[in-house]
């Protein structure tokens, strides 16, 4: 009988303890109040992406870049708005001029965009679009859009670590971010060389494709052999026409296009 009483008393205590724990949890209305760009690190990092209209059809006037985001502190209990704001960083010298709202991208407060910038109830991750515009100025210059999360009526940035992002925008060939990380394979960067590689492979040769190729030693060797062989053939054709070897600057012999030897 004493054993039964002790067991009953222990069970009751456990139940009260569990109830006490539940009371200490945040109320549902307090959950999911913060949002950030998806990141697996605890240190500050700006989410960066690159977009070029060079690879798109001539009649394509916009491009959409998606940003993966996640809530912090819980899951929202209702549809919650996410808000971005473009900004200039006075602490650093910009690599490129700032993108102009309405010219290089659709403003974040445009009704067509604002209605897409939300996370639904019960979700903890969402992809948010940034819509870029194909302005003629992108043919001759690269622009950069820097933006950050700012408080909306529903959500606030979780911290200063993962609340900033940037997009480099162009409509011409530009150096992929990981080109020199693989310099032993590709050699020095030249837009003429880049165009040659695209024309002779049918591939984009952007950062994503370069990562794929350099992860496969056989594929890297294949492309290096292919480009060396076909560049030699092209230069032989040019010589037969009285033209110099392929160069970045046709008037400068020091800018001849080449690939590292096998």
Residue 5 has a pLDDT of 41
Q: Is the dihedral of CA 48, 92, 41, 34 positive or negative?
A: negative
Residue 39 has a pLDDT of 87
Strand, helix or coil for residue 118: strand
d(CA 17, CA 11): 10
Residue 93 has a pLDDT of 66
Count how many Cα atoms sit within 13 Å of the Cα of residue 22 in the half-sphere of its side chain.
Answer: 6
Residue 84 has a pLDDT of 97
d(CA 260, CA 186): 7
- The ranges assigned to domains in the chain are 34-170, 180-255
User: What is the reported pTM?
Assistant: 0.73
Backbone phi, psi, residue 67, to 5°: -120, 125
Quick one: CATH architecture of 34-170? Sandwich (2.60)
Residue 32 has a pLDDT of 59
Residue 94 has a pLDDT of 73
List the pLDDT tens digit at each of the 262 positions of the chain. 444 444 444 444 444 444 444 333 333 445 559 999 998 777 788 898 989 999 899 999 999 999 999 999 889 999 999 999 999 877 666 788 999 999 999 999 999 999 999 999 999 999 999 999 999 999 999 999 999 999 999 999 998 889 999 999 999 998 888 899 887 889 999 999 999 999 999 999 988 899 999 999 999 999 999 999 999 999 999 999 999 999 999 999 999 999 999 8
Residue 43 has a pLDDT of 78
């Amino acid at each position: 009988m004493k054993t039964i009483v002790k067991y009953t008393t222990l069970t009751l205590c456990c139940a009260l303890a569990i109830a006490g724990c539940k009371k200490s949890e945040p109320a549902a209305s307090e959950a999911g109040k913060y949002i950030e760009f998806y990141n697996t690190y605890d240190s500050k990092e700006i989410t960066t992406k690159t977009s070029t209209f060079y690879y798109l059809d001539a009649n394509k006037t916009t491009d959409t870049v998606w940003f993966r985001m996640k809530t912090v502190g819980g899951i929202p209990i209702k549809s919650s708005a996410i808000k971005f704001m473009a900004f200039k960083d006075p602490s650093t010298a910009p690599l490129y001029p700032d993108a102009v709202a309405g010219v290089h991208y659709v403003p974040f407060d445009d009704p067509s965009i604002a209605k897409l910038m939300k996370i639904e109830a019960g979700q903890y991750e969402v992809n948010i679009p940034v819509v870029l515009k194909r302005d003629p100025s992108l043919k001759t210059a690269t622009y950069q859009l820097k933006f950050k999360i700012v408080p909306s009526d529903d959500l606030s940035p979780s911290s200063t670590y993962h609340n900033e992002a940037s997009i480099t925008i162009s409509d011409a060939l530009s150096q992929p971010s990981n080109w020199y990380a693989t310099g032993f394979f590709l050699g020095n960067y030249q837009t003429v060389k880049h165009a040659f590689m695209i024309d002779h492979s049918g591939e984009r040769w952007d950062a994503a494709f370069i990562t794929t190729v350099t992860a496969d030693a056989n594929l890297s060797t294949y492309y290096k052999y292919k480009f060396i062989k076909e560049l030699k053939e092209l230069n032989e054709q040019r010589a037969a026409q009285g033209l110099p070897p392929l160069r970045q600057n046709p008037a400068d012999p020091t800018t001849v296009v080449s690939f590292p030897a096998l």
